[in-house]
Structures are given as C-alpha cells and as structure tokens.
C-alpha cells in the first residue's frame, strides 16, 4: 500500500522504477500494488523508461564495467512487454541517462578522457584524486538504430579549465559528472553539470552552451527537464551546498525542486519540505511535472516517491519496499535513481495486462554476511 493517497488530488496512473541494487523494473498502481515486472539480468546503470510502443528502454550495468563511477552502464536494451530483447547497443563508457528520439535514433551520455594538457589546467577538486592520473569528461552521442554514430559532443571542447572549476569538495577523476539527457523539440540538449552546480542547454549545431544557470543557487543538481510552458524543472539535491547570505549554514543539507524561467532566470516555483531535514536526497533523484499540474518527486536514496499539488499539498506517497544488498557503500538499501509516472491513457499501456493480483510480496531471511560487509566498509575507509 502507498504511504499516503488522496485520489481526488493525485494524478492517476502507474509508476515505473528500477531499484539500483537489482530486482528488475517494476510498475505499481496508485494503491502501491505491483502490476508488472521486467526481470533483468543487469543492475541498472540508472533507470528505464516505458516507450510509447510499450517497450522498456533500459540502461544496464555489466559486472566488468571499466570505471567504478556512479551511473556507469555499458548496455542499452530495448525489451518488449514480456521481457524479450529486441535491440541492444553496447558501449562500456555509457552512463546515467539516454533518450529515444522521435526519428528512432537514441542519444546517450558517455565518459571520455580529458586531454592531459587540458586536465592539468582545470581548477578545483581535491588535489591528487584523478583516476590513475586521468580526468574523465562527459560526451553525448546520437546513434541510429543500427549503431552508427551521427552526432557527438565532447564536453572538454566547450568548457573553460579556469572558468569552469570542479566543486572544491569533489574528486578530480571527473570534470562535470553530467547526469541527465533531455532532448528538446529543437534538437538541443538540456542537461546538468553536477560538479559545476549548473544546468545548461547545449546548442546541437555548434556544441556551445546556449543557456547556463545555477551558480550560487544549485548544489549538485539532477534531472532537469523542460515543461510545456518552456520553463525548466530541476531537482536541486543540496550536496556540498555552500553557505550564503540566505543560507549561512551550508553544512545543513536539504533538497528542493525548482521551476526556472529561462528567459529571466527567475525561480517561479519552489518546493522544499516544511520540515527541511526530512527532505535531503544527497545524490541521484528526480522530478516530473504531471499533466494535472502536480509534481512527482523521487527522493532517490530513500526510495521514496511522492506527488505534490501546485499548492504543495501531498497527494500520494510510496516507498520502494524492495531492500536489496548493494555494494559496500550502500549496503542493504532500497535506493532508486528516479521514477516515472504514466497515465492510464499512455500509448505504451494500451492493451497491456496490469494485474495487481499477479505478484505477492513476501518476507525472506536476511543473509548473515554483516561481518563481511562491515570489513569492506572499513577497508574503504583505510582501516
């Protein structure tokens, strides 16, 4: 059951999510009942989306990924409703996010090495934390269904090593840790440069930044997406939020969701919990504006999804009940990169069977490996 549900205020539909530590991809109804499941062999690089044709487009993380970075992937899979593989694209340096374009092409994020002469000039970050002497930058690629690359953007060609410094508390293994891919109707790309605390629009024709915003406002943001009115919705995580005149206690973390008007750079709507410390998602997470004006918010680390009205009233709340053993950092967790809501009239759900009686949630005994997990955590801390 959901933690809270007001049918008269919520946007009815089905919510898709894929736990970061495994368990496949799930659809739940407004009552919090599982109605469909895709069994997946690979952990999610981040998430999956339901395409209008009813297929799941999902980024998977092979066990032999070459980089141990958050969001690393390696396989992009398209599965039908029954989980049959229809399409696959492999690239060991894919990460975080992707989007299927109207023309059938797919655009996605990937890591590339920053040339040494450029990396040496990049300001900020914790000294000496490059990965085996390498600073990785971000790239976007667009491919045709057969895998042909038709467009590529290399971040290090359009960033300034001095004017675009890394957050002073982050490592120097990554320049920007770009985490989102939102293709706009005009073909340009909206994304978030996490370690620069900015969201940007990349001009696809020139590769230059058409719009940048966030310095002094955002703290390690995720999931910017453009609304029908041309404004941008973004999840402001709050990690490493600096102190300011309006927030003199930067060490106190809190998250919020903002709607920004690009024409004026003004914040026209903001949500943060009245009990500020209750909403503090330090990483992953996202936000989605629903057709009725409500906003679906994914508090990723806690696996909590909640829907609020324009007046910031709670309309629906659900917490992922699947706690799964993760890596030595996350341990047992129910973390989810982000969730997606689809209305009952969404084309991808047309004619599909959504049976709340098909699945039964049962308890199982937790494996007795706490000592091993503790040893791993202590090892990572240098003990």
Report the range of poorest mean pLDDT among 79-88, 127-136, 369-378.
369-378
Handedness of CA 243, 255, 262, 210 (dihedral sign): positive
Count other Cβ atoms within 10 Å, centred on residue 88: 12
Domain count, the chain: 1
Q: Which of 333, 343, 212, 226 is nearest to 287 (CA)?
A: 226
Is the confidence at residue 371, as pLDDT, over 90?
no
Q: For a pLDDT cut of 90, what percent of the chain falls above it? A: 87
**pTM for this predicted structure:** 0.94
Is the confidence at residue 93, as pLDDT, over 60?
yes
Stronger pLDDT, 15 or 378, i.e. the higher one: 15
Is the confidence at residue 303, as pLDDT, over 70?
yes
- Measure the CA–CA gap between 253 and 271, rounded to whole angstroms: 15
Degrees, nearest 5: CA angle 363-368-371: 140
Question: What is the rounded average pLDDT of the residues 311-326?
Answer: 96
Spatial contact of 184 and 201, defined as CB atoms under 8 Å apart: yes
Q: Which of 91, 266, 250, 57 is nearest to 167 (CA)?
A: 250
Report the range of poorest mean pLDDT among 1-5, 78-82, 167-171, 307-311.
1-5
- Looking at residue 303, which CATH number applies to its domain? 2.120.10.30
The separation between the first and the last C-alpha atoms of the chain, rounded to the nearest angstrom, is: 42
Question: What is the rounded average pLDDT of the residues 90-102?
Answer: 98
DSSP string across 66-77: S---TTB--EEE
Question: What is the rounded average pLDDT of the residues 375-380?
Answer: 55
Count other Cβ atoms within 10 Å, centred on residue 365: 5
Question: What is the rounded average pLDDT of the residues 30-56?
Answer: 97
Spatial contact of 192 and 221, defined as CB atoms under 8 Å apart: yes
Q: Are strands 85-90 and 94-100 parallel, antiparallel or unpaired?
A: unpaired
At residue 56, the pLDDT reads 98
Stronger pLDDT, 159 or 275, i.e. the higher one: 159
**Domain residue limits at 144:** 4-380
Average pLDDT, the chain: 94
DSSP string across 200-245: EEE-TTT-SEEEEE-TTT-SS-EEEEE-TTS-EEEEE--TTPPP-S
Question: What is the rounded average pLDDT of the residues 289-310?
Answer: 98
Is the confidence at residue 296, as pLDDT, over 90?
yes
User: Rounded to the nearest 5°, which phi and psi values hold at 155?
Assistant: -60, -40
Q: Which of 46, 68, 65 is nearest to 57 (CA)?
A: 46
pLDDT tens digit sequence for 186-220: 999 999 999 999 999 999 999 999 999 999 999 99
Spatial contact of 350 and 55, defined as CB atoms under 8 Å apart: no
At residue 285, the pLDDT reads 98
At residue 277, the pLDDT reads 86
């Amino acid at each position: 059951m959901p933690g809270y549900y007001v049918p008269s205020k919520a946007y009815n539909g089905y919510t898709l999510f894929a736990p970061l530590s495994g368990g496949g991809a799930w659809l739940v109804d407004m009552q919090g009942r599982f109605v469909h499941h895709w069994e997946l062999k690979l952990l999610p690089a981040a998430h999956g989306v339901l395409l209008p044709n009813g297929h799941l487009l999902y980024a998977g993380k092979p066990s032999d990924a070459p980089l141990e970075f958050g969001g690393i992937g390696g396989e992009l899979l398209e599965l039908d409703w029954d989980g049959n593989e229809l399409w696959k694209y492999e690239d060991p340096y894919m990460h975080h996010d992707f989007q299927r374009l109207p023309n059938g092409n797919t655009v996605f994020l990937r890591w590339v090495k920053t040339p040494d002469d450029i990396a040496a000039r990049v300001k900020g970050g914790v000294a000496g934390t490059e990965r085996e002497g390498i600073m990785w930058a971000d790239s976007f690629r667009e491919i045709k269904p057969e895998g042909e690359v038709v467009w590529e953007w290399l971040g290090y060609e359009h960033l300034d090593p001095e004017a675009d410094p890394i957050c002073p508390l982050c490592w120097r293994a990554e320049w920007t840790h770009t985490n989102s891919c939102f293709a706009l109707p005009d073909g340009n790309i909206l994304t978030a440069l996490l370690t620069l605390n900015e969201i940007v629009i990349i001009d696809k024709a020139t590769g230059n930044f058409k719009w940048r915003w966030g310095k002094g406002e955002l703290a390690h943001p995720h999931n910017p997406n453009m609304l029908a009115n041309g404004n941008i919705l973004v999840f402001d995580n709050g990690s490493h939020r600096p102190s300011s005149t309006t927030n003199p206690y930067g060490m106190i973390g809190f998250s919020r969701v903002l709607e920004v008007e690009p024409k004026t750079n003004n914040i026209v709507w903001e949500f943060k919990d009245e009990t500020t410390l209750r909403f503090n998602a330090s990483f992953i997470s996202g936000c989605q504006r629903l057709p009725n004006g409500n906003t679906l918010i994914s508090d990723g680390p806690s696996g909590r999804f909640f829907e609020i009205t324009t007046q910031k009233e709670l309309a629906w709340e659900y917490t992922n009940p699947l706690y799964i053993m993760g890596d030595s950092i996350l341990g047992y967790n129910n973390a989810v990169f982000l969730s997606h809501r689809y209305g009952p009239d969404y084309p991808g759900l047309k004619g599909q069977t959504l049976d709340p009686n098909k699945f039964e949630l049962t308890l199982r005994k937790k494996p007795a490996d706490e000592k091993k997990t503790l040893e791993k955590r202590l090892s990572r801390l240098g003990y």
